[in-house]
A and B are shown apart, each in its own frame.
Chain A
Amino acid sequence: MARTPFRVEVLTPEGEVFNEEVEMVSTHTSVGSVGILANHQPMLAMLDPTELRIHRAEGEVLSFAQGEGFLQVGASHALLLVDEVRTPQSLDAADLRERVRAAQDRVTQAQEGSEEHRSARREERRYGAWLKLLEGAGGH
């Protein structure tokens, strides 16, 4: 059975990435994985780096690499403000591995509790999540 469609908008600082009526969005907030359907309770949440999946219709799923951002759910729409959205095709595993490694180096060199430490951890999480997306997709 087809689900009720609702409007989903994905906005980045470099412009709109997506704006259509869809059936479901699945992503990751700082609290955990969420799947948003139409008529969801109003919500404001923080988005963490992960694979953003937009279920356009039965069996038609778009996949993006999502950076950090914010999710606002209203009565009949969801707005995702994301600092960076990339298509999996535009990602390069070797480059991501290098970025994860560089971030890990920064983490070990930084003092625990410093802003540098926190900042490096966030980088590590972002590129680690994207690498996982890429390697997971390669396994199919």
Chain B
Amino acid sequence: MAQKEVKGRIASVKNIQKITRAMEMVAAARLRKAEQRIEELRPYASAIRRMTRQAAEAAQGIPRLPILAPRETEQTVGILLFTGDRGLAGAFNSQIVRAGIRAGADYRAQGKKVRYYAAGRRGVSSLRFRNQEPAGAYEGFTDRPTYADARAIAAELMVAYVDGDVDRVEVFYNRYVSPLVQVVTRETLLPLNQASIMEDGEGADAGQAAAGAGQAVSHNGHRALTEYEPDPADILERLVPSYVEISIFRSLLESTSSEHGARMTAMRNASENAGELIKDLTLQANRERQAAITQEIMEVVSGAESLV
């Protein structure tokens, strides 16, 4: 009887292992795609940077846009959490929610108001569970976010900032390092840091930026011939907000990579655990089978003995 039960458990653990193995493989494939998409964003982002530098030079500076202006007093802080639509990814979702809630509590302790925004069903439902109704909930795309998704979030946050509903916006997301490591990252999105617009970008971008600067020098003679439609200052008025969009898109992609990486690791661990469980259960099944055989032999022997 016990034997049958153990066999049933082995079968069900094996089924679970099949599922976790499949999920691991799916996550690995999606991770590769997500990493590729971070790469594909790079040329666009550096082209936007180059154009901004060119327009800013022509306009002799960056115009004073509302999204660049810090508030004198911060009454309300917007906190945007990047989570996933699904769970089963280790600490991926919970560590973001925890960090965001803690930051919100700190701001409230300072007497400020907090408005939460969340991308990903997990973040939205965690906030609701804690009675923190998000001012903006963005769901259904965290597996494969598009730029249009990022644009929609950016538009809503910039409207909230410019129209005075929030005086600062911070974002929390998992920065992807490797399938084993995702780092909770906290950044200020708004007001947009003016210095970050003109800087040459970090690491890999630096070489390209230097080349771009060289180009600017060699083209110096033709600068006057460039036609601007409309004025460079007006062009900047649209170029600068695209930094906010790109920043949100990058966070979404980082978060997606992290999610798939975390799920891959979680599922690999689950598969390994299932393997160990199967080994233990098989051992137990064998032991019980042997005990049953021994029992039967003893019964046969004692039966035979009684006949003699």
Contacts and interface: CB of A to CB of B under 8 A. Distances in A.
B246 A70 contact: no
A29 interface: yes
Given A14-B40, A44-B51, A83 B242 contact: yes
A108 interface: no
Contacts of B249: 13
A120 B175 CA distance: 32
Given A11-B43, A13-B246, A119 B227 contact: no
A93 interface: no
B155 A15 contact: no
A68 B235 CA distance: 12
Given A44-B51, A119-B155, A13 B44 contact: yes
Interface residues of A, number: 27
Contact of B159 (A13, A79, A81, A119): A119
A15 B222 CA distance: 30
B132 interface: no
Interface string B68-95: 0000000000000000000000000000
B37 A14 contact: yes
Contact of B151 (A31, A46, A83): A83
A12 B242 CA distance: 12
A81 B44 contact: yes
Contacts of A68: 238
Given A14-B147, A83-B147, A46 B225 contact: no
A42 B226 contact: yes
Interface string B40-83: 11011101100100110010000000100000000000000000
B235 A70 contact: yes
Contacts of B228: 43-45
Contacts of B66: 115
A44 B235 contact: yes
Band of interface residues on B: 35 or more
Contact of B227 (A13, A42, A115): A42
A119 B230 contact: no
A43 B229 contact: yes
A53 B235 CA distance: 23
Contacts of A45: 227-229, 235
A138 to B, nearest CB: 23
B163 A70 contact: no
Contacts of A41: 225-227
Nearest to B242: A83
B44 A12 contact: yes
Contacts of A72: 47, 51
Given A83-B245, A119-B158, A13 B147 contact: yes
B199 interface: no
Contact of A116 (B37, B43, B163, B245): B163
12 contacts: A11-B47, A13-B40, A15-B37, A46-B229, A68-B238, A70-B48, A81-B51, A83-B147, A84-B147, A115-B159, A116-B163, A119-B159
Interface of A: 11-16, 29-31, 41-46, 68, 70, 72, 79, 81, 83-84, 114-116, 119, 123
User: Top 4 A-B pairs ranked by shortest CB distance?
Assistant: A115-B162, A15-B40, A45-B229, A13-B147
Given A41-B226, A42-B222, A44-B229, 11 more contacts: A11-B44, A13-B147, A14-B37, A44-B232, A45-B228, A46-B229, A46-B238, A70-B51, A72-B51, A81-B48, A81-B51
